[in-house]
Amino acid sequence: MRVVPLLVVVTLAACAPGADGAGHGGTSSSSGAATGSSSSSSSSSSGSAVAPPQLPALLHTTVAQDVNPDPQVVEVDLVASVVEHAFADGRLTQAYAYNGLIPGPTLQLQRGQRLLVHFTNQLPEPTTIHWHGLRIPDTMDGTPMTQTPVPPGGSFTYDFTPPDAGNFWYHPHYNTPQQMERGLMGAVVVHEDPAVAFDAERIIFTDDVRLEADGSLAPFQQSGMDVMHGRGGNVLLLNGAEAPRAPVTVTRGTQERWRVFNGANARTMSLSVAGATFAVFGTDGGPLPRPRVRARLSVAAGERYDVLVYFDGAPGSTAALLSHVLVLDGNGNVVEEERVLQEFQVATAPDAPLRDIVLPSSAEVTLPPEGPPDRTLVISGYNDGTVHFTINGRSFPDEEAWETTQGTTAQVRIDNQLGMEHPFHFHGQFFRVLAPAARVRSDPGVKDTVLVAGGETVTVLVDFSNPGHWMYHCHILEHAEAGMGAHVTVHPDGSGHAPGTGH
């Protein structure tokens, strides 16, 4: 398989005002391997009114090649197959990959462009592709509820036009705990129009994987702790490889956009950046009204964040992306430990002024007061020798009916009666956290996945803008597999307005 460098060395100087993303074509790889951001490496075309949109270079993942010359269409081939992959140095794992890559190629497009994905399944089992967070027609949503799984050797063309700019991702929705643990996931980046020019953009795909000493994946368990808490890995990954890798050199004063994903089966990532300033400016469904400087960023399975990282450390200093993990100490107590995901060496800046970057932003919204819930989802479970998770007493596919109408909003109260946390996800729709107030402050913005802590009750205001049959479930994949999921039918309101127009 192809080796993808984890991070490339950034050799750019601070861009002059007005420079566009093509100015970052000077990035070079520390290992000398091609970085393959094929669709973004053409030369600058600023000044021409008819030029196709210039997409920013995305560092350190491979961008899928757009084979369609039509500027309105991005057309890519995606093949899922069995590969030998080096999750950890010196060990090869029999894994699953899209186009031989883990994570799969980043699909990037401009808002308004149509995406055509010709998918071929070369796995020994059926699969589907789900487009997490994209408010597209349910026939393209890739759950076995709306699509016959693609058999081994089969193919399917996904065809849709994403209505929202932001960070989305794709992954299977069939035998999901195993297929995702084996490596099937990738980013979908829908750029704002016009694209905002940062000094660099990086895909930060966090994950973990559980490996045996010989590099093989630990056996999948259908019971016990793995179902209770989800499968936790023993190797922390950044963009498909064990962290940390070789340090990256960045120029002092560089302002980068990090698009942060969590593709783990279960683990909530607790991240921080030491030696640099970072601010969150976007969540699952797009930008916040204002950026928020954070000390820690918790990214639950399924969530995404847009982060501005400003390398303001002294020349010669080191900055690092850290993951804070819980481990058992020698006395059997749970303690927090700090792991380096990636180090950055801050180099002297050439004499260039700090650029003013106008971050993407959204209008302030006033949330309605919390009222009696339109729907309550009580999360519980039981163990009859097998662990079952329930929503309102029932386990998927024995689910409770829920029907609503496009264009309505609903206050949905998620009442977690269990001791463990659940990153709760709605397909095809966005929501905002409405209560409790502390969660509104810590989790602002438009979301499709929200972490509900053990024993916590979180109320979300769901905007049912997208008609169809939509799953909602816990994104701890083992919980969903053990019944913590259901679906809602959103009837068209007849107005025919497209999703996304309500924002």
Interface positions with ligand C2O (CB under 6 A): 130, 132, 171, 173, 302, 425, 427, 471, 473, 475
Half-sphere exposure of 136 (CA within 13 A, CB side): 25
Q: How far is CA 43 from CA 26, 32, 51, 60, 207, in A?
A: 11, 21, 11, 19, 34
Identify what 476 binds: ligand C2O, Cu ion, none; CB under 5 to 8 Å per kind.
Answer: Cu ion
CB of 447 to ligand C2O, least distance (A): 13
Per partner kind, with CB cut-offs from 5 to 8 A, the member of Cu ion, ligand C2O, none near residue 422 is Cu ion
**Shortest distance in whole angstroms from residue 171 CB to ligand C2O:** 6
User: Looking at beta carbons only, is 174 or 281 nearer to ligand C2O?
Assistant: 174
| CB distance 477 to 264 below 8 Å | no
In angstroms, the CA 159 to CA 189 distance is 16
Rank residues 179 and 239 by Cβ distance to ligand C2O and give the closer one. Answer: 179
The values of phi and psi at residue 463, to 5°, are -100, 100
DSSP 104: P
Beta-sheet strands, E only, within 331-371: 334-347
Contacted by 302, from Cu ion, ligand C2O, none: CB < 5 to 8 Å by type: ligand C2O
Question: Residue 486 Cβ, how far from Cu ion at the closest point, in Å?
Answer: 13
The nearest distance, CB 239 to ligand C2O, in angstroms, is 18
- With CB under 5 to 8 Å by kind, the binding choice for 191 among Cu ion, ligand C2O, none is none
User: Of 85 and 173, which has the nearer Cβ to ligand C2O?
Assistant: 173
Instruction: Using the minimum distance from each CB to ligand C2O, give the nearer residue, 250 or 482.
Output: 482
> Among Cu ion, ligand C2O, none, what binds residue 479 when CB lies within 5 to 8 Å by partner kind?
Cu ion
Q: Which is nearer to ligand C2O, 245 or 473 (CB)?
A: 473
What are the phi and psi torsion angles at 225 (to 5°)? -60, -35
The residue whose two tokens read 């307005």 is: 497
Residue 302's contacts (CB-CB under 8 Å, 6 or more residues apart) are 132, 262, 423, 425, 448, 449, 475
| Integer Cα distance of 105 and 123 in angstroms | 17
130 vs 447 by CB, closer to ligand C2O? 130
Question: Which residue is nearest to ligand C2O, using beta carbons?
Answer: 132
Closest distance of CB 471 from ligand C2O, Å: 5
The entry of ligand C2O, Cu ion, none near residue 447 (CB within 5 to 8 angstroms by kind) is none
- Give the residue with the Cβ less far from ligand C2O, 202 or 473: 473
Closest CA to 107 of 62, 44, 166: 62
Provide the minimum distance between the beta carbon of 499 and Cu ion in the complex, in angstroms, as a whole number: 14
How many Å apart are CA 292 and CA 312, to the nearest integer? 17
C-beta of 476: minimal distance to Cu ion in Å? Answer: 4
Minimum CB separation from Cu ion for residue 371, in Å? 26
Between 24 and 267, CB nearer to Cu ion: 267
Nearer to ligand C2O, 110 or 390 (CB): 390
Which positions ≥6 away from 312 have C-beta within 8 Å? 252, 253, 276, 277
Neighbours of 221 (CB within 10 A): 12
Task: Enumerate the H helices of 142-286 as residue ranges.
Answer: 176-181, 225-229
| Site residues for Cu ion per CB under 5 A | 132, 422, 427, 474, 476, 479
| Cβ 165 to ligand C2O shortest distance, Å | 19
d(CA 503, CA 499) in angstroms, rounded, equals 9
Sheet holding 457-464, edge to edge: 387-391, 375-383, 408-416, 457-464, 430-435
Residue 473 near which of Cu ion, ligand C2O, none (CB within 5-8 Å, type-dependent): ligand C2O
- The values of phi and psi at residue 377, to 5°, are -115, 105
Residues in the chain: 503
Residue 346 interface partner, choices Cu ion, ligand C2O, none, CB cut-off 5-8 Å depending on type: none
